[in-house]
Amino acid sequence: MKRAAHSVPAYDPEGTIREALGAYFDTYGLGTGGYDDPYHVIKLLGVLPLIVPNPPARKRALRRHDLNHVLTSYDAIGTAGEIDIAGFEIGAHGGCRDYWVAWGINLFFFAIGVLSRPRRLFRSFVSSRGAFNAYSLANVEGAFLDRRLREIRSELRIPDHAPNPSTGDRFFFFLWGALSLLLVFTSVTILAMLARSIWGFLATHN
């Protein structure tokens, strides 16, 4: 079935974070965010459904990940939007900090972006180099949700447009790209070896 067309929400900069997140949830059919759900359904390549556990570490990171989508207006459907947000979240000051689930997911999409859309990935990476992202915020609930979107974007120094890249930007993009590709290649190799070992064990004990 063909996925219904959608457009990225036009978030009102003078509106509240609560209102912006409401528009985000409505546009992408996320209900109330699913932060308390025991499981989460993701779509590989934007099509293939995969049910994954939703442990506390992921719930903690997901609130900030969704907020980053709102702060940047990057799409939240399919691989392209996740590549863009990976560039932003990794490139910002402090990256994903101690949100290890976010690091793992972002490095995967960063590697995919290096291989499939490096120019767009580089642009989102550069746009965050002088900024902070939502992982730097101590609290993203309660009274925080009633603050203005414009104020939070200003405090985090998120630019409206990507600045001209510096030599340092290019160097760190290359560094993160190499690291992400190495980690993904290593993970795939280990999984392939494990699958081969299990298959060999089953074949010999059949």
pLDDT at residue 66, as a whole number:
96
- Residue 74 in domain: yes
Find tokens 């089953």 and name the residue: 202
Helix axes 100-116, 78-91, angle to 10 degrees: 120
- Structure tokens belonging to residue 13: 């900069």
DSSP character string of 64-130: HHHHHHHHHT---SHHHHHHHHHHHHHHSTTTTTT-HHHHHHHHHHHHHHHHH-HHHHHHHHHHTTT
Nearest to 85 by CA among 49, 37, 134, 45: 134
Q: How far, in Å, CA of 32 to CA of 21, rounded?
A: 9
Position 5 pLDDT exceeds 70: no
- Residue 9 in domain: no
- Residue 4 in domain: no
- Structure tokens belonging to residue 124: 């989102």
Indicate the burial class of 127 (C-beta count within 10 angstroms; 0-12, 13-18, 19 or more). buried
- Residue 7 in domain: no
Residues in the chain: 206
- What are the pLDDT digits (tens) for 47-90? 667 777 788 888 889 999 999 999 999 999 878 999 999 999 99
Count of domains for the chain = 1
- Structure tokens belonging to residue 87: 């560039």
- pTM strictly above 0.85: yes
40 CB-near residues (< 8 Å, 6+ apart) = 34, 51, 52, 53, 54, 58
Quote the mean pLDDT of the chain. Answer: 89
Region 115-133: mean pLDDT is: 96
- Residue 106 in domain: yes
pLDDT at residue 2, as a whole number:
39
Domain extent, residue 68, equals 17-204
Nearest to 122 by CA among 189, 171, 78: 171
Region 151-155: mean pLDDT is: 97
- Residue 2 in domain: no
pLDDT at residue 45, as a whole number:
55
- Residue 195 in domain: yes
- Residue 6 in domain: no
- What are the pLDDT digits (tens) for 177-195? 999 999 999 988 987 888 7
Residue type at position 22:
G
Q: Which DSSP symbol is given to 44?
A: E
Region 109-116: mean pLDDT is: 96
- What are the pLDDT digits (tens) for 17-41? 999 999 999 998 888 887 888 877 7
